[in-house]
Chain A
Amino acid sequence: MKTKYVLTFPHDAADEPITYLLVKNYDLKVNILRAEIDEKGGKMVLELDGPSDVIKKGIQFLKSKKVEVRSIEEGVRKDEEKCTQCGVCISICPVGALILDKKTFKILFDDDKCVVCGLCIDACPTTAMELLL
């Protein structure tokens, strides 16, 4: 299974090769979607792919390293009331999570494809795209 997590790093955990250890010790497929870490600590958005019990162990490992872990049910939300279905977000999205339905001409948002990069957030003229991190 694949699940997305937000990791919050305290300043003293920031210099450990945590993603390397997740791969090496737990054989998890790790996809870094977003990372903002400096000497003061920071945040990382990870997608972990592997058996659910192994993911659980990986997360326990992260927590033991004082990393705060929160799973993301939803990273970005599209507000249908605000959206005017213009579609300017489509060409901004690097992973094709925003697509035009050629029958209805509505803009569809595919939550599973979204890597929570945030590029669409300030590109939306009606502030219909919201980052929930």
Chain B
Amino acid sequence: MSEQKQLRTYAEINARIESKTVSVLTAEEFKAKVASEGLAKAAKDVDVVTTGTFGAMCSSGVMLNFGHSDPPIKMQKIWLDDIPSYTGLAAVDAYLGATELDDSLNMYHGGAHVIEDLVRGKPVRLRAISYGTDCYPKREIDTWISIKTLNQAVMFNPRNCYQNYATATNGSSRMIYTYMGKLLPEYGNATYCSAGEISPLLNDPYFRTIGIGTRIFLGGAQGYVAWEGTQFNGKPPRSANGTPRRPAGTIAVIGDLKKMSADYIRAMTLHKYGTSLSVGIGIPIPILDQEMAKYCAVRDSEIFTGAFDYSEPKRSRTVLREVNYAELKSGHIEIKGRKVPTSSLSSMYKARQISSELKKWISKGQFLIQEPIQKFDLEREFKPLDVRTKEEVCR
């Protein structure tokens, strides 16, 4: 039997979701079923597999619309609880990014913290200045907003949910502080940031069912895949099972911040690095055929990533070794003959919670599977930035 022989269509799956007869398992449950009953049986029995991840996703932020004051103001510069936001848009639209800091560079209160406060319904101080125009005469405003007073609060994250990520360690003789956390000297520890076998994009390595328009769990609400994520790399080195062995695909996501929960949207401070946002994402994978079942059966021991020395201040760091997620999750890996303690920057606890929650939504008929409106271009390469001349660019 061809692996791509269709077992069910999106329409059939959705009809079963609506009649509450759908068979949906979390990624963990599905892998256990494959192990005990075999791939063919699991593929035949299960319509949808739910995945989840909860980790630092720096490229995140929210589009806000404040409404108009009287007299109106064309906000030129704004601060939300002292955090600047981008207002190079129309009069009262702004984009608040997760990693934005205030003038004092306080890393314990950045854009991510304001986003979490908005999600929690807390009041946020809005200050804005303007040069004043004939149609927008007001030149400054100092007021309070909350998630309820905003017209729109839309989370739009240009790059989330990395399909695999690097493992970080530190071979130097001093402590280093990175976006992968605090790294102890002399390979004192190693950190990784992926839920591994239950992480969404590792269960659909070639993006057969995840593309523009895919409905997802985003921060506790229903959201969508808006586009390919920035830095999307469709051509990473891959294992025979299709999973990338390096950071690869990414997704841009969009959803209504007003419906999200602080259980799944959490501000982070990476000491001496900056702020970031933990975002909870869950993606349902329809088991259209046996090939999709095979992808969703992948185990931690079959997913590899590179371990890198983050004390090397270079774009392309040397790979110390390749490790699989079973080793990483065991708590130790071996690097240069040393037993190096490992731990994760992304929460397996929350990732499992998200995959269970999404399973619940689907079982209750509250969440339908959206076929991608457009697939991603896997030929897309991830290009570097070099210092070049005008002439070199035109070549």
Which A residues are closer than 8 A to B by beta carbons?
84-92, 100, 104-107, 119, 122-123, 125-127
Contacts and interface: CB of A to CB of B under 8 A. Distances in A.
Contact of B350 (A85, A104, A119, A125): A85
B278 A85 contact: no
Contact of B352 (A88, A92, A105): A105
B27 to A, nearest CB: 14
A12 B344 CA distance: 46
Interface stretch (B231-239, B247-255, B262-270): B262-270
Q: Which 4 A-B pairs have the closest CB atoms?
A: A85-B349, A91-B189, A125-B268, A90-B343
Contact of B191 (A88, A107, A119, A122): A88
Contact of A126 (B182, B189, B266, B341): B266
A123 B181 contact: yes
B281 interface: no
Main secondary structure, interface of A, reads loop
A100 B343 CA distance: 9
B271 A123 contact: yes
A90 B181 contact: no
A127 B191 contact: no
B344 A88 contact: yes
B103 to A, nearest CB: 21
Contacts of A84: 54, 266, 278, 347, 349-350
A127 B108 contact: yes
Given A92-B184, A122-B182, A87 B108 contact: no
B55 to A, nearest CB: 7
Contact of B268 (A91, A100, A126): A126
26 contacts: A84-B266, A84-B347, A84-B349, A85-B347, A85-B348, A86-B55, A86-B346, A86-B350, A87-B343, A87-B344, A88-B344, A89-B343, A91-B331, A91-B341, A91-B342, A92-B182, A92-B189, A105-B347, A122-B182, A123-B271, A125-B269, A125-B276, A125-B278, A126-B269, A127-B108, A127-B269
A62 to B, nearest CB: 32
Nearest to B264: A84
Nearest to B116: A126
Contacts of B191: 88, 91
